[in-house]
Amino acid sequence: MAGLVENGLGLAKPTNNKGPEMDGNKAAAASGQANGRRVLGDIGNVVSVMPPRNPHAAGTKNLVSSNRPVTRKYVATLANDPQFVQDSQHLDGPVENNWAGEKHQRTLSSTGNDNDQMALEVEDSVVVDMEDQMTSELTGTSVVQTECIQCQECCEVEMEDLVDPMSDIDEADAGDPMAVSEYVQDIYSLYKTRENLSCVPQDYMSQQSDINERMRAILIDWLIEVHMKFELMDETLFLTVNIIDRYLSRQRVLRKHLQLVGVTAMLLACKYEEVSVPVVDDFVLISDNAYTKEEVLQMEKLILSTLQFSMAVPTPYVFMKRFLKVAQSDEEMERLSFFFMELCLVEYAMLRYQPSMLAAAAVYTAQCTLRKTPCWNGSIEWHSSYSESQLWECAKMMVDYHQKAGEGKLTCVHRKYSASKYDRVAKIEPALFIRDIVL
């Protein structure tokens, strides 16, 4: 059996050019200059506490200059330290906080002695939630606000508390190595930029002289049934249809060879996606011995050479799984979405839409059909890059196909999703209100 050709990737070995050792900041500076980068310096988020005026006085201790960042915990520690409160009353100057950015000046005057006062200059977002605690701890001192840069409702949120709501969908998969949550966003960004490679001209049938759109629909409807008989994965079906369309858009095919193209495309998709691959004889048997094993293998070589061995293309399936995850779908909604998508596989007119739009419209139509509110929220719109209004036209066509799915001769998809295995989602009442919105 002929197999797919794998392209090897050469990995360059890392070099270790270790120069003579240098010490301290000189080594860092030299390294920064060599790489064309400036060495990081102090960002100014430390507190410098001046020593008391009389460090040798009895009963007093030297205040060690602190280089710790100003945090809520650190400010609370200073406020609760009696020695710090006592020694700070002897300071000639204010306790200075070199925090980069806007500062808030507050003067704390002692009720026992009006002449002794301590000026704390700290960043506003840190001092706001400590104001009441410091007022009670500093032996009955009163807080007098002398200058306020911000409004009364000052923000107390630290940078580490800010969480992007769009990135929470992969948080549950952090411990699953198969979910690759660390770079799943990069994967789908790449899918989005490369999905044009899987698209074909929407009028490519005009170049064919012996086949038409109706014959393509008959072939795919039959392949969906073969896919069910072999119990293959969903990825295999979507890749099969993609291979067929890409090949037919580049090569003219006779009517008698169209079924041969179909079974060979499914054989290739199985080799790429499946763990247990059906043998060539299985496809010869399923096609009622219309072709020989040698003809299937010959067509396999022809398809691969025509497509230049390009099998790794994003299909609607990969986008569908992502959008269903964002929508937090249940089993019923997932099956209904795939029902709409497989209806679109049969229809030649749906080739005008990109795979990501087909997947997004299928999820949107499923949510509308199940009367879920909202049908399209900001999170799904952000991940799919499609607004609700952009999906209306495609969703309307899916609703029309849903209404007509049980009619005519090509009813394999409707029969498949009318079974109890798929919760009979094909029999759910179509979402008629989408038509009203569009019309």
Q: Report yes or no on 394 lying in a domain.
A: yes
Do 362 and 288 share a structural domain?
no
Q: Report yes or no on 78 lying in a domain.
A: yes
- Per-residue pLDDT of 406-418, as tens digits, reads 998 999 999 999 9
Do 321 and 405 share a structural domain?
yes
> Among 122, 145, 168, where does a domain finish?
145
How far is C-alpha 23 from the geometric centre of its chain's CA atoms? Answer: 43
Q: Phi and psi dihedrals of 95, rounded to 5?
A: -75, 120
Do 405 and 369 share a structural domain?
yes
Of 54-68, 251-265, 271-285, 390-404, which range is least confident? 54-68
Q: Which neighbouring-strand residues pair with 119?
A: 107
Predicted local distance difference test score (pLDDT) of residue 135 = 44
Average of pLDDT values for 336-347? 96
Do 387 and 286 share a structural domain?
no
**Total of domains in the chain:** 3
Q: Which two tokens stand for residue 176?
A: 């699953």
389: domain CATH number is 1.10.472.10
Do 253 and 336 share a structural domain?
no
Q: Which domain holds residue 253?
A: 203-306
**What is the band of 339 on the pLDDT scale with cuts at 50, 70, 90?**
very high
- Per-residue pLDDT of 73-129, as tens digits, reads 555 666 666 665 565 555 444 444 443 344 444 444 444 444 444 434 434 443 444
Distance CA 11, CA 23 (A): 34
Question: Which strands form 47-48's sheet, in the order they lie side by side?
Answer: 47-48, 95-97, 117-122, 104-109, 142-145
Do 383 and 425 share a structural domain?
yes
